[in-house]
Amino acid sequence: MISKDNIVKYIDEGFGDKDYFIVEIIINNQNEIIILIDNQKGINIKECVEISRYLRLNLGDELDGYELQVSSPGLGQPFKVIEQYKKNIGKQVEIVSIEGIKTVGKLNFVSDEFIEIEEQIKIKSKKNIKEIKNIKIEFSKIKSTKEVIKIN
């Protein structure tokens, strides 16, 4: 049986110089292996194909009977690893707290324990005037975070 650790090992060996980070590896009951991978610049289809071919070549018989899918996590999907937060510094994000409270703001800082966002709050008594508030949010208080996609 194939293991996630073995997949990670081969990706690190073959592509460690490209600063890829694994977002998620799913091995399900339908004999599918789904690898979501990214890097700070974003990953394209050509790179996903290259990783898939490399894994097929190096894992060989271990992949027999499995369908292998390698792709990027996709736009609008919740962040799963800290590297996704770091990749999105300077961008608008939507955070949903454990209590279900939504906060939208610019991601300014990421540490191992918390993030800091800049939220613009509209002042009710004055038209078009917004107050900027920096908010520190611990990872333990976050249910989900995703990039806000703006379509112009």
Q: Tell me the residue range of the domain where 44 lies.
A: 4-71
> Any idea what the CATH number is for the domain that residue 142 is in?
2.30.30.100
Q: What is the pTM of this model?
A: 0.86
pLDDT at 129: 73
Element containing residue 58 per DSSP (H, E): helix 45-59
Tell whether 100 and 122 lie within a shared domain.
yes
pLDDT at 130: 77
What local confidence, expressed as pLDDT, does residue 49 receive?
97
Q: Report strand pairing: 114-122 vs 130-138.
A: antiparallel
Residue 65 is classified by DSSP as T
> Are residues 94 and 120 part of one domain?
yes
Whether residues 105 and 139 share a domain: the answer is yes
pLDDT, one tens digit per residue, over 32-71 is 999 999 999 999 999 999 999 999 999 988 898 999 999 9
CA separation, residue 98 to residues 112, 134, 137, 140, 151 (Å): 18, 19, 11, 8, 28
Residue 77 within any structural domain of the chain = no
Angle of CA points 66, 11, 60, to nearest 5°: 40
What local confidence, expressed as pLDDT, does residue 132 receive?
87
In this structure, are 94 and 137 located in the same domain? Answer: yes
At 93, list the tokens: 């994000």
Number of domains in the chain: 2
Q: Same domain, yes or no, for 119 and 143?
A: yes
What's the CATH number where 26 sits?
3.30.300.20
Same domain, 117 and 89: yes
- Asked whether residue 64 falls in the same domain as residue 8, the answer is yes
Pairing assessment for the beta strands 67-71 and 32-38 based on DSSP bridges: parallel
Q: Residue 101 falls within a domain, yes or no?
A: yes
Low-confidence ranges of the chain (pLDDT < 70): 125-126
pLDDT score, position 98: 97
| 62, 93: one domain | no
Q: What is the pLDDT of residue 51?
A: 97
Same domain, residue pair 61 and 14: yes
What pLDDT shows up at residue 111?
97
Query: Is residue 11 in some structural domain?
Result: yes
